[in-house]
Structure 1
Amino acid sequence: MEQKQPKPGKLLAQINSPSDLKKLEADQLQEVCDELRQYIIDIVSVHGGHFGASLGVVELTTALHYVYDTPKDLLVWDVGHQAYGHKILTGRREQFHTNRVYGGLSGFPKRSESEYDTFGVGHSSTSISAALGMAVARDLDQSDKKVVAVIGDGAMTAGLAFEAMNNAGAMNSDILVILNDNNMSIDPNVGALKEYLADITTSKTFNKMRDEVYDMLGHFKSAGEKMRKVASRLEKAMTAALTPGSLFRSLGFKYYGPVDGHDVDGLRRILEDLKDVKGPKLLHAVTVKGKGFAPAEREQTKWHASSSPFDKITGKSLSAPSKPNPIPKYQDVFGDALVELAEKDERIVSMTPAMPSGSSLWPMMNTFPERAFDVGIAEQHAVTFAAGLAAEGKKAFCAIYSSFLQRGYDQLVHDVAIQNLPVVFCIDRAGLVGADGPTHHGAYDTAYMRAIPNMIISSPLNEQDLRDMMYTASKYDDAAWAIRYPRGRATGMDVRENFEMMDIGKGVELREGEDIAILSFGPIGKYVFEAADQLSKEGIEIGHYDMRFAKPLDTELIDQVCDNYSHIITLEDGSKMGGFGSAVAEYIAEKEERPTLKIMGIPDRIVEHGTQEELHDEIGIGVAGIIENVKQKAKVKV
């Protein structure tokens, strides 16, 4: 039975595009905002999804689409967590319940989904760079498009945002950057920029002094040309001295604000004024993440997203009561093991780029606050910061998502590998991650690290192996070490209290077979157990080898497999091209007599969103895919 979908309010129900929004009177916009906020709450409370960020920009979203001529005028969202209202107002209201569902709408802006999604996003801090590129293209085409980038204060901490602002200011390009300042990213923001913005928004004297100075200068400007020039110079000097936005002015931007990000009429009026102001401009809007939903306003990190239905009044979960899941997530196994290791080894330090919750670094930060660091949305800095600590004898554990480490690739090569510094990279969200989709899939880390010298690349089959890999890495100082593990639950096995050293570059035989062997890399090997049991019932006995390391390869074990099996299948939750299977292929290619080889992994295409199991089945690396490939090798009719 199809679930009944929430109904939009009477005004929102009439809005199928921004042109419909523009038909309304300005004094109706607040009602639109109220209905839009309620609709987001209604949908997410039933279907789940990102939550707090979109509630915080309802008024800004409505004002932008009311004032600007989208999609001709280009609106670029940063990250995309806050774009739900944008999607609903741009013709996707009726499909919005499919958000983040397999085959449905993306949880982020996506160019192929709508002409209103001008730039695909998922990771932070790209909006200003993209907007500048669009603005330059507009100028080359001699068009009159307006270009607006919306970026959060968390995303503004990344170097890319400042590189873009520096370039835009120097080029004097006509763009508007809107700083959505809610003092949050996913976890609370950190760093000097946070304190700077807080000073702006909490200043008790700034607005009063600015108004008085401007009023005084207004009298001077009526006193003739000479006095007007004097007044103009005085105004610039006083602005530089008094305006808290001097940082942005120093980068060449005209600064406006701070303004109330929940006053839709005030936003409408200032946006209409700024349309006529040429050059680079920054509007500083202060908002509340989770605005309009009390539980989300109180606990902003918790309500960044919701994965299950909840009561839209109280916020209480509507899922059937159940006992706490005793099976830990891989990230939590990492977090707990790190604290245990740090208790025994004072050299151990850790860092994460703005993801202490997602990476489970909070246990370490709470237990050893002087040895655990949230460096903000700054992946490049996180890697080189870890390298600096390692250069001075510390054992740095860098907890980072696979798709985030991509941003620190140059630092991985230049600052870690070339100097042979023993940083340990604990790579979370390796493999297909689920509903966040292609911007967050950890598909490429094995492939992009294999080519780098002085790197060990490993992946545990289960939580016991993860703990022992971390322990072994903590004792190993001859190279950098990458340990990759997926999003989601571990196996629930009983782990021993003590750690044990693991043989580097050595795999293990888990099951002996007759003609076909599967070499698995990482937790994806769990599917082989089920497939092997089903195949055994049909008289097909396969070998299973947990290889543990993609670099260095266990060539002795591979030689043994080649001597005893006619067919090899490799299995990994990572890119087929350049990954673990490619490493095996490269090795056995030099053998004069070798078994056939089938590489199973993520294909050379973009995989969209869905549950991890749905996506594994789609690309053929789930249980059914393994069985099918084995039967093909066994020459059994599928």
Structure 2
Amino acid sequence: MASLLEKIHSPEDIKGFGGEELDALCEEMRRVIIETVSANGGHLASNLGVVELTVALALAFSPPRDTIVWDVGHQSYPYKLLTGRYPQFSTIRLEGGLAGFPCREESEYDKFTSGHSSASISAALGVSEANFLQGKEGYVVAVIGDGALTGGLAYEGLNNAGRLHRNLIVILNDNTMSISKNVGSMARYLSYIRTKPGYIKTKNRLERTLRKIPGVGPAVASGLRSLKRSVKRIFYNSTIFEDMGFAYYGPFDGHNIKELAETLETAKLIHKPVLLHIRTYKGKGYQYAEQDPTIYHGLSGFDVTTGDTGAKSQSFSDEFGQALCSLARENPKLCAITAAMQNGTGLTAFREEFRSRFFDVGISEEHAVTFAGGLAAGGMLPVFAVYSTFLQRAYDELIHDVSMQNTKVILAIDRAGVVGEDGKTHQGVFDAAYLQTIPNVTVYSPAYFKELRLQLAYLVEQGRGLCAIRYPRGRELYKPAYFKSTTAPYSVYGSEDAAVCLVTYGRVFSFAAECKEHLEQGGLPVKLLKLNRIIPLDGQAVQEAFSCRDVFFLEEGVQRGGIGEHFSYLLEQRGFSGGFHLRAIQDPFIKHAPMFRSLEMLGLNAQGIEQFVRETLGHGKGGASA
């Protein structure tokens, strides 16, 4: 069968499709997404679940004049296929290819870059107001999942949007639970009838006519609205969206294109914010993803025929989860918190063994931190496991609700450093810089599994105040034979009298160790200083570097405000007169590429570090380098 996607250069191209063609298009989109994700990795189940919804949006609206804002954005693959990006779709998540999330630089159809949850309503409201202020035409739609609706930012957006008397359409993509329970066939019937375009037009016409009746018109119209709300309250258990100022309709079948398109056309006629509640099924159309949408949410690749996702190697997340379980068996006060990332952060076993001490608070990192502060104030020992990129959202809570309270909370910061194909929205390169601005923080950064276990146990047993342990995504890398795991603030390897000192922490230590060996094979003695505790920096560690002629600081984190800059400041305070050479990340919005490739481009792999050292010493330059 000829490809329909090859004929589509914009959403306008499907508006003349008949029902059979639309069904065939959905089937083709699913096939392309499955084949591409199987090869490139990426998000599967969430994208398969919104194929019909995306087609319905393309039928009802006219992007880019109309704006579609996807919450999180990991379900935007079908949208990319319908907005002229099918020829490049095979490059998604590959270096130089399409991003795995909406990206403003990639396409005019992506009005808002996204990768974090719960932001779509606020962003869509901003676009809507910008259109109004500039006299621009165009509808604005936010598509948000029920998971993202657990985030407080979503309700801040709803609260603000509900005060306005302009059209803003929010689509609640409910794929796991019903937020508003329907009672019987009558409720379903009312939802269906009330979303007919004829109903809305008739209702608006009737209200306008009533208001024109002298003396009693406005009162009658108001009375009818009040009666309507009372009747709806009989049939709907929850009216939270309507209480916030939205017109609520649904739930609807998210896989019925005709009904969805008709409903969207109706929503365009309502001169106030509208929330459409639709039901979809993650993984729809691929049996393995339907059976286990969690496993097939995000993958590195898989076999399409068998569904085999391949052997999974032990990761830092796994080690953390196992270590936390061991510690919890000895400490009845230890609790684990996740913000809807139980599997990703390695807490599945903890949840099974210590169910009463496990808390999944939904996608709400701000709440998670304050909740942890409350647990600590109440006498428990909370450990919040969170990806570095998502912890950024809770900066204020870390300061006000933990540090200022002087309570003990431990952060287990997963995916610290470069993460690879998920790209700039997910890079974990900011945490070390912003954490050192918070008073009384202790942060460890292990490079290996055993270190993680030792340092986590140390923080649980002896840590004070706000503590953190940060570790990278994936597996261990090269470990030199001379390496020793420790909870000491720093470790020194190599020649004590060397003129050249390499200073680093975390995963980059593996590459620095390789570089050290290559340099020494070439006759250049090197001291390798590994910072185990990066906040606060140990004064003696700074002194170890002070005795060297040239200090090379290597950091898989942002340069501005990072550990390297602070180390340089401490050296300068002591009167260091040698050369300090800093290699850190200057542009933190690192585009998607395999993790090793990203580190290579940043000059933080073994070869890049060695070249940095040789070229710097060969030119005899001092000062800072990047």
Q: TM-score, normalised by structure 2?
A: 0.91
The yes-or-no answer on 1:380 pairing with 2:366 is: yes
Return the letter of the residue paired with 2:386.
Answer: I
CA distance in 1, matches of 2:510, 2:479: 12
Contact 1:328 1:492 in 2 (8 A): no
Q: Deviations over 1:151-179 (max 9, x none)?
A: 11100111000000000001233200001
CA distance in 1, matches of 2:195, 2:141: 28
2:532 to 548, 551, 561: 548
Q: Deviations over 1:97-122 (max 9, x none)?
A: 11001111100000010000010000
Contact 2:191 2:250 in 1 (8 A): no
The yes-or-no answer on 1:580 pairing with 2:563 is: yes
CA displacement at 1:27 relative to structure 2: 5.5
Q: Quickly say closer, same or farther: Cα 1:536–1:387, change in 2 above 3 A.
A: same
1:607 is matched with 590
Q: Deviations over 1:569-609 (max 9, x none)?
A: 11121111111111211101112343211112211342111
2:157 to 145, 160, 164: 164
1:149 is matched with 142
Q: Quickly say closer, same or farther: Cα 1:616–1:369, change in 2 above 3 A.
A: same
Q: Quickly say closer, same or farther: Cα 1:214–1:467, change in 2 above 3 A.
A: closer
Any residues of structure 2 matched to 1:331-342 within 5 Å, and which?
331-342=317-328
Question: Any idea what SS the aligned residue of 2:424 has?
Answer: helix
CA displacement at 1:399 relative to structure 2: 0.5
Identify unmatched segments of 5+ residues in structure 2. Answer: 622-626
Contact 2:402 2:409 in 1 (8 A): yes
> Sequence identity of aligned pairs in percent?
37
CA distance in 2, matches of 1:213, 1:357: 41
2:506 is matched with 522
Q: Which 4+ residue blocks in structure 1 deviate beyond 4 angstroms?
A: 201-205, 208-215, 224-232, 491-495
CA displacement at 1:18 relative to structure 2: 1.3
CA displacement at 1:140 relative to structure 2: 0.7
CA RMSD of aligned residues (A): 2.8
My pick for the range that moved more, 347-356 or 544-553, is 544-553
Aligned length: 603
CA distance in 2, matches of 1:593, 1:315: 58
Q: Deviations over 1:73-107 (max 9, x none)?
A: 11111111110010011111011111001111100
The yes-or-no answer on 1:421 pairing with 2:407 is: yes
Q: Quickly say closer, same or farther: Cα 1:636–1:263, change in 2 above 3 A.
A: same
2:462 is matched with 476
Question: Any idea what SS the aligned residue of 2:592 has?
Answer: coil
CA distance in 2, matches of 1:28, 1:421: 61
2:389 is matched with 403
Return the letter of the residue paired with 1:33.
Answer: C
CA distance in 2, matches of 1:77, 1:435: 19
CA displacement at 1:465 relative to structure 2: 1.3
Q: Quickly say closer, same or farther: Cα 1:470–1:477, change in 2 above 3 A.
A: closer
Q: TM-score, normalised by structure 1?
A: 0.89
1:207 is matched with 188
CA distance in 2, matches of 1:205, 1:370: 40
The yes-or-no answer on 1:567 pairing with 2:550 is: yes
1:47 is matched with 40
1:628 is matched with 611
CA distance in 2, matches of 1:587, 1:67: 60
Return the letter of the residue paired with 1:535.
Answer: L
The yes-or-no answer on 1:266 pairing with 2:259 is: yes
Q: Quickly say closer, same or farther: Cα 1:405–1:555, change in 2 above 3 A.
A: same
1:488 to 462, 466, 474: 474
Contact 1:471 1:501 in 2 (8 A): no
Q: Quickly say closer, same or farther: Cα 1:62–1:202, change in 2 above 3 A.
A: farther
CA distance in 1, matches of 2:357, 2:480: 29
Any residues of structure 2 matched to 1:80-229 within 5 Å, and which?
80-183=73-176, 197-198=178-179, 200=181, 206-208=187-189
Q: Deviations over 1:511-536 (max 9, x none)?
A: 22621111111121000121112222
CA distance in 2, matches of 1:593, 1:268: 69
CA distance in 1, matches of 2:619, 2:245: 69
My pick for the range that moved more, 456-465 or 278-287, is 456-465
CA distance in 2, matches of 1:106, 1:555: 43
1:502 is matched with 487
CA displacement at 1:478 relative to structure 2: 2.8
CA displacement at 1:231 relative to structure 2: 5.0
CA distance in 2, matches of 1:314, 1:244: 43
2:307 to 305, 310, 315: 315
CA distance in 2, matches of 1:241, 1:214: 18
Question: Any idea what SS the aligned residue of 2:30 has?
Answer: helix
Return the letter of the residue paired with 2:315.
Answer: K
My pick for the range that moved more, 471-480 or 81-90, is 471-480
Return the letter of the residue paired with 2:26.
Answer: C
CA displacement at 1:208 relative to structure 2: 4.8
Return the letter of the residue paired with 1:200.
Answer: K
Question: Any idea what SS the aligned residue of 2:84 has?
Answer: helix
CA displacement at 1:245 relative to structure 2: 5.1
Identify unmatched segments of 5+ residues in structure 1. Answer: 1-7, 184-193
CA distance in 2, matches of 1:465, 1:487: 15
CA distance in 1, matches of 2:121, 2:194: 32
Return the letter of the residue paired with 2:41.
Answer: G
Return the letter of the residue paired with 2:544.
Answer: Q
Contact 1:136 1:173 in 2 (8 A): no
CA distance in 2, matches of 1:464, 1:133: 48
Contact 1:521 1:580 in 2 (8 A): no
The yes-or-no answer on 1:346 pairing with 2:346 is: no
Contact 2:427 2:589 in 1 (8 A): no
